[in-house]
Amino acid sequence: MLTYQVQRRLIGAQTLAREYSPSEIRRGQRPNGSTNPSTAEYSALRAADFAHYKLTIKGMVEQEVSFSLAELRNMPARSQITRHDCVEGWSCIAKWTGTPLGAILDMARVKPEARFCVYHCYDNIQTSLAGDILYYESSDLIDAYHPQTILAYGLNDQTLPVANGAPIRVRIERALGYKQPKYVHTIELVDDLSPFGQGKGGYWPDNGYDWYGGI
Amino acid sequence: MFIWFLASFINGHIRRDIVPRGADIKGVPKDVADHARLRFHHGRTYGPLQKLSYFGVFFILFPLIVLTGLTMSPGINSIAPFLLDVFGGRQTARTIHFVVMLALVGFFIIHIVMVLAAGPLNELRSMITGWYRASHGTSVSGGDKP
Q: Is B79 part of the contact surface with chain A (CB cutoff 8 Å)?
A: yes
Q: pLDDT tens for residues A101-121?
A: 999 999 999 999 999 999 999
CA distance A83 to chain B (A): 9
Closest B-chain CA to A24: B89
CA distance A175 to chain B (A): 6
Q: Which long-range contacts (CB under 8 A, 24 or more apart) does B138-144 make?
A: B138/B42, B138/B43, B138/B44, B141/B44, B142/B43, B142/B44, B142/B45, B143/B44, B144/B44
Is A211 within 8 Å of A201 (Cβ atoms)? yes
Is B92 within 8 Å of B64 (Cβ atoms)? no
CA distance A80 to chain B (A): 14
Cβ contact, residue pair B77, A176, below 8 Å: no
Q: Is B70 part of the contact surface with chain A (CB cutoff 8 Å)?
A: no
Under the banding of pLDDT at 50, 70 and 90, the label for residue B140 is low
Under the banding of pLDDT at 50, 70 and 90, the label for residue B146 is very low
CB contacts, 8 Å: B91 with chain A: 90-91
Q: pLDDT tens for residues B31-43?
A: 888 888 888 878 7
Burial of A109 (0-12, 13-18, 19+ CB in 10 A): exposed
CA distance B116 to chain A (A): 37
- Whether B110 has a pLDDT exceeding 80, the answer reads yes
Tell me how far apart the 2 most distant CA atoms of chain A are, in Å.
Answer: 47
| Amino acid (one-letter) located at A117 | C
Query: Measured between CB atoms, which of B72, B74, B90 is closest to A174?
Result: B74
Cβ contact, residue pair B75, A83, below 8 Å: no
Question: Would residue B143 be called left, alpha or beta, if left means φ above 0 and alpha means ψ between -120 and 50 degrees?
Answer: beta
DSSP symbol at A29 = P
In sequence order, which residues have a C-beta less than 8 Å from that of residue A63 and are 6 or more positions away? A108, A109
Cβ contact, residue pair B74, A175, below 8 Å: yes
pLDDT at A46: 96
CATH code given to domain A18-27+45-206: 3.90.420.10
Under the banding of pLDDT at 50, 70 and 90, the label for residue B93 is very high
Look over chain B and give the mean of its residue pLDDT values, rounded to a whole number.
Answer: 87
Which of A135, A136, A149, A68 lies closest to A106 in space, CA to CA?
A149
**Structural domain boundaries of chain A?**
18-27+45-206
For residue B110, the tally of other CB atoms under 10 A from its CB is: 13
H-run or E-run covering A95: strand A91-100
Residues with pLDDT less than 50, chain A:
none
Please give the Cα distance from B46 to B23 (Å, whole number): 12
